[in-house]
Structure 1
Amino acid sequence: MGMIQCISPVDGSVYAERPALSLEAAKEAVGRARKAQKAWAKRPLEERVQLVLKGVARLNEMSDVVVPELAWQMGRPIRYGGEYKGFNERSNYVASIAADALAPLVVEESDKFERRIEREAHGVVFVVAPWNYPYMTAINTIAPALMAGNTVVLKHASQTLLVGERLVQAFVEAGVPEDVFQNVFLDHETTSALIAAGSFNFVNFTGSVEGGRSMERAAAGTFTGLGLELGGKDPGYVMDDADLDAAVDTLMDGATYNSGQCCCGIERIYVHESLYDSFVEKSVAWVSNYKLGNPLDPETSLGPMANKRFARVVREQIADAVSKGAKALVDPKLFSADDGGAYLAPQILVNVDHSMAFMREETFGPAVGIMKVKSDDEAVALMNDSQYGLTASLWTKDPERAGRLGREIETGTVFMNRADYLDPALCWTGVKETGRGGSLSIIGFHNLTRPKSFHLKKVTA
């Protein structure tokens, strides 16, 4: 079989490689997961929850290995300490609601009838995780799926090849049975063949729109449940009554953190004309303070993009927009580490419009466009002028105004005075080509289980 490689963005070297499983070996792994599932589901819920939390704790103990590995694999600077804050927050929250989320819905409990709806594990859950936040995005499904009584088969992106190994290592060392949580290395062909064969009861995929389409095609006719978390082009809207400095700080961070490689990162910003000039000036100053460089250097605040081909897309979108009249405001001379490859300086464009791919297609890099608007109606129309819908960030002192506009925006999450954050108590979901389904919250547990109705008549007379 072929080798799956991780090419490090740090220096372009092959950082890790693993042989892809054959279809036969992959089927054997899934078979072990299926065989182990019933016994796992019969364990008390609290026991499953505690084993997952022990796995989380064990991974925390591995930070000295995990953090530099992430820098080598996908370029995030070590100064940010990996993904432990969000990883722990999400795991702990779903653990705290597991009993309530999975509790039966009792309709009647009388001397004549018991009628209730219980939540039953799907069976084998297949998690196909992305490289940009490889621990946090994976745990969104892994933790509640295992707690609910499913077994989990995990496949990670080649760019973060070692993450699945680390997760399974931590959970198995904490006491989760080996067949209950497995990591696999698969090529696209074998992945599609497994799904097409109905090997899994539920598949959660986080990645590109085209990747989501491939998942749907593979699952066609199998009736396999799919959760698809796909692309985004998330907007921010700064209203006339916004806290300007707070908006600049949060939106620029949301546009550039992790080199802009965030599912819910800010990719386009609309600013009321009364604040536009000040917002742009402050934003350029904010972004210009980054130190671009080797992510293993503690002084580096902006690392390389995960792969030079991802950076190429950003450069091409910027060049196209500039050729059509856009203006780039960040001086590239401030970032000597920009090598034309994976190391890419941040950028802010003005004089942009929706005829440009930069304002319509997913950029997924440290670059953002800013447009001036005159009214809420104009801003809403522009925010909705997109094939995607994951989050929208509204900046105002008026919650009623934000709620009113939020109901008009075609999106999965509406933020007011914050951005680029996943609240584990709320359902993480999207609309249009951003995908379907939802993770985390009580709804996430419901998506990882199926309802089973019990209608028990106690008397026969």
Structure 2
Amino acid sequence: MPIATVNPADGETLKTFDPLSDEEIEQRLADAAAAFRSYRTTTFEERARLLNSAADLLEREASGVARVITTEMGKTLAAAEAEAAKCVKAMRWYAENAEGLLAPEYPAADDIEDSGAVWARVRYRPLGPVLAVMPWNFPLWQVIRFAAPALMAGNVGLLKHASNVPQTALYLGDLFHRAGFAPGCFQTLLVSSGAIESVLRDPRVVAATLTGSEGAGRSVASVAGDEVKKTVLELGGSDPYLVMPSADLDAAARTAVTARVQNNGQSCIAAKRFIVHTDVYDAFAERFTAGMRALTVGDPMEPDTDVGPLASEQGRDDLEDLVTDALTQGAQAPCGGRRPEGFERGYYYEPTVLTGVTEQMRIHREEAFGPVASLYRVRDADEAIELANDTPFGLSSNVWTQDECEMDRFTQDLEAGGIYFNGMTASHPALPFGGVKRSGYGRELSGHGIREFCNTTTVWRA
């Protein structure tokens, strides 16, 4: 895939970039290793000052970088601006909280005595240069939620971003440089996916994190495993959205629309499978379908646009194939199910609701990465849980119920890294984020995330 900015609203190639040469990659690896030797000795106060400086820059430049994001991958301008603001918040949160999250831990006095020590403690120390392989769908946020904790922990970063967001990738590298981080602390590598293996195998790179497809995760994990290097993976999701009889149907349906089409439907944590109790199925389906049908598809730069184009022609075609497969096997589309009229240029697809989905259809198992929802009817909580878990993924989940007993049951039995009651999945710096099954392993954000790339060290003295 060429490294290029292609505007998904009209398919026009705006700018192309040459990949780094082998010599340039070698220099960046050397710079990262050198930077780590010095940066690891900085204080939390100094790291926080630098990260807050980067947050200040991003806050001032949010409007401009948001336009770049929208131009490169098609999310609405309002969504891009919100993404930038979220990044600023996360950077400031880690600047304020990292020292406490990584404070030394002291075992109980009785346990220290029993171990034969005069004293013992647990320290969290940085690992070194970490390779971050990041996707295009949240081109700022996915990077910052790695970079902020990694830099505060004393690590340095090497970013291999998606090839269709090169200007955003370059902005990120420049942002940390202008904030005052020493050269080599955070660098963007404009390289093809074929270069990832050699970078990851380099002994100066100590670990990797990847957000992306299951295939990309398998590839990186296999190389890292062969090299015995730590990885964190956040992969796909086919998140269930369960609606039970006690739910506030108006709020559930209204939120369901947003949960499905956020980021033009291109989000791993977007709700995709809507599993509704038969007692409220018809009422919910009517509200939800009406809400999806009312969305405005259009130019993502325009303020009245709800859903912009998909990020690429291939992504639009893949989504279209999933829907066509379902429709030819008997599913129905009470709204959508096709490319919108009047958009001969660009990679648009109508917000779509599918009913009558069966397990023989590809969309029942595969992630629909676009504004397409599958709607299911179930008899009770048992069937809802069985269907919700009938997926190779386990990223997040949403449940609408006012019944406390049902909440306990769903909390115990849903196979997901997150369970959100009476609301939609959202990430926050203070809450761990990640999945189970083929959605990956490890956690980002919170104290769990910052410790993923630390050497948890026992210090013991007799």
Q: Above 0.5 in TM-score? A: yes
CA deviation profile, 1:150-184 (whole Å, cap 9, x unmatched): 01111110121111211222222121112111111
Which residue pairs with 2:334 in the alignment?
Answer: 329
Instruction: Tell whether the 8 Å contact from 1:115 to 1:456 is kept in structure 2 after alignment.
Output: yes
Which residue pairs with 1:95 in the alignment?
Answer: 95
Q: CA deviation at 1:82?
A: 4.6
Separation (CA, whole Å) in 2 of partners of 1:161 and 1:255: 27
Separation (CA, whole Å) in 2 of partners of 1:120 and 1:240: 50
Which residue pairs with 1:200 in the alignment?
Answer: 205
Which residue pairs with 1:62 in the alignment?
Answer: 61
Query: For the structure 1 residues 122 and 138, does the alpha-carbon distance in structure 2 shift closer, same or farther, using more than 3 Å as the test?
Result: same
Query: For the structure 1 residues 114 and 251, does the alpha-carbon distance in structure 2 shift closer, same or farther, using more than 3 Å as the test?
Result: same
Which residue pairs with 2:359 in the alignment?
Answer: 354
- Secondary structure of the 1:226 match is strand
Q: CA deviation at 1:368?
A: 0.3
- Which 4+ stretches in 1 moved above 6 angstroms? none
Map of 1:81-92 to 2, 5 A cutoff? 81-92=81-92
Separation (CA, whole Å) in 2 of partners of 1:258 and 1:437: 24
Instruction: Tell whether the 8 Å contact from 2:394 to 2:436 is kept in structure 1 after alignment.
Output: yes
Structure 2 alignment gaps of length 5 or more: none
- The one-letter code of the counterpart of 2:298 is G
Instruction: Tell whether the 8 Å contact from 1:291 to 1:335 is kept in structure 2 after alignment.
Output: no
Separation (CA, whole Å) in 2 of partners of 1:30 and 1:331: 48
Q: Of 221, 227, 230, which residue of structure 2 is paired with 1:216?
A: 221
Q: CA deviation at 1:333?
A: 9.3
Separation (CA, whole Å) in 2 of partners of 1:423 and 1:22: 38
Which residue pairs with 2:185 in the alignment?
Answer: 180
- The one-letter code of the counterpart of 1:403 is D
* Structure 1 position 392 matched with structure 2 position 397: yes
Of 353-362 and 369-378, the range deviating more from structure 2: 353-362
Q: CA deviation at 1:50?
A: 2.2
- The one-letter code of the counterpart of 1:78 is L
Query: For the structure 1 residues 426 and 79, does the alpha-carbon distance in structure 2 shift closer, same or farther, using more than 3 Å as the test?
Result: closer
Separation (CA, whole Å) in 1 of partners of 2:428 and 2:2: 37
Map of 1:286-325 to 2, 5 A cutoff? 286-325=291-330
Of 328-337 and 300-309, the range deviating more from structure 2: 328-337
Instruction: Tell whether the 8 Å contact from 2:240 to 2:397 is kept in structure 1 after alignment.
Output: yes
Separation (CA, whole Å) in 1 of partners of 2:142 and 2:9: 23
- The one-letter code of the counterpart of 1:100 is G
- Secondary structure of the 2:279 match is coil
Q: CA deviation at 1:16?
A: 2.6
Total equivalences in the alignment: 456
Query: For the structure 1 residues 212 and 355, does the alpha-carbon distance in structure 2 shift closer, same or farther, using more than 3 Å as the test?
Result: same
CA deviation profile, 1:22-44 (whole Å, cap 9, x unmatched): 23321220111111112111111
* Structure 1 position 128 matched with structure 2 position 127: no
Query: For the structure 1 residues 92 and 351, does the alpha-carbon distance in structure 2 shift closer, same or farther, using more than 3 Å as the test?
Result: same
- Secondary structure of the 1:6 match is strand
Map of 1:129-144 to 2, 5 A cutoff? 129-144=134-149
Map of 1:219-298 to 2, 5 A cutoff? 219-298=224-303
- The one-letter code of the counterpart of 1:361 is E
Instruction: Tell whether the 8 Å contact from 2:320 to 2:338 is kept in structure 1 after alignment.
Output: no
- The one-letter code of the counterpart of 1:98 is A
Separation (CA, whole Å) in 2 of partners of 1:92 and 1:304: 32
Separation (CA, whole Å) in 2 of partners of 1:404 and 1:297: 44
Q: CA deviation at 1:324?
A: 1.0
- Secondary structure of the 1:381 match is helix
Separation (CA, whole Å) in 2 of partners of 1:223 and 1:91: 30
Which residue pairs with 1:45 in the alignment?
Answer: 44
Q: CA deviation at 1:233?
A: 0.5
- Secondary structure of the 1:15 match is strand
Which residue pairs with 1:104 in the alignment?
Answer: 104
* Structure 1 position 416 matched with structure 2 position 427: no
Q: CA deviation at 1:101?
A: 1.2
Structure 1 alignment gaps of length 5 or more: none
Separation (CA, whole Å) in 1 of partners of 2:195 and 2:325: 37
Instruction: Tell whether the 8 Å contact from 1:273 to 1:374 is kept in structure 2 after alignment.
Output: yes
Q: CA deviation at 1:306?
A: 0.2
Separation (CA, whole Å) in 1 of partners of 2:337 and 2:325: 17
* Structure 1 position 21 matched with structure 2 position 20: yes
- Secondary structure of the 1:119 match is strand
Of 388-397 and 174-183, the range deviating more from structure 2: 174-183
Which residue pairs with 1:71 in the alignment?
Answer: 70
- The one-letter code of the counterpart of 2:260 is A
CA deviation profile, 1:62-91 (whole Å, cap 9, x unmatched): 123211111110001213325123213322
- The one-letter code of the counterpart of 2:31 is R
Separation (CA, whole Å) in 2 of partners of 1:441 and 1:345: 36
Q: CA deviation at 1:15?
A: 2.3
- Secondary structure of the 1:439 match is coil
Of 209-218 and 393-402, the range deviating more from structure 2: 393-402
Identity across the alignment (%): 30
Query: For the structure 1 residues 223 and 443, does the alpha-carbon distance in structure 2 shift closer, same or farther, using more than 3 Å as the test?
Result: same
Which residue pairs with 1:35 in the alignment?
Answer: 34
Q: CA deviation at 1:423?
A: 2.6
Query: For the structure 1 residues 399 and 92, does the alpha-carbon distance in structure 2 shift closer, same or farther, using more than 3 Å as the test?
Result: farther
- The one-letter code of the counterpart of 2:166 is L
Of 390-399 and 338-347, the range deviating more from structure 2: 338-347
- The one-letter code of the counterpart of 1:346 is P
- Secondary structure of the 2:5 match is strand
Q: CA deviation at 1:334?
A: 11
Of 359-368 and 45-54, the range deviating more from structure 2: 45-54
Query: For the structure 1 residues 350 and 259, does the alpha-carbon distance in structure 2 shift closer, same or farther, using more than 3 Å as the test?
Result: same
Map of 1:129-168 to 2, 5 A cutoff? 129-168=134-173
Query: For the structure 1 residues 399 and 51, does the alpha-carbon distance in structure 2 shift closer, same or farther, using more than 3 Å as the test?
Result: farther
Separation (CA, whole Å) in 1 of partners of 2:157 and 2:144: 11
* Structure 1 position 189 matched with structure 2 position 194: yes
Separation (CA, whole Å) in 1 of partners of 2:62 and 2:250: 34
Instruction: Tell whether the 8 Å contact from 2:136 to 2:161 is kept in structure 1 after alignment.
Output: yes
Separation (CA, whole Å) in 1 of partners of 2:316 and 2:391: 22
- Secondary structure of the 1:419 match is coil
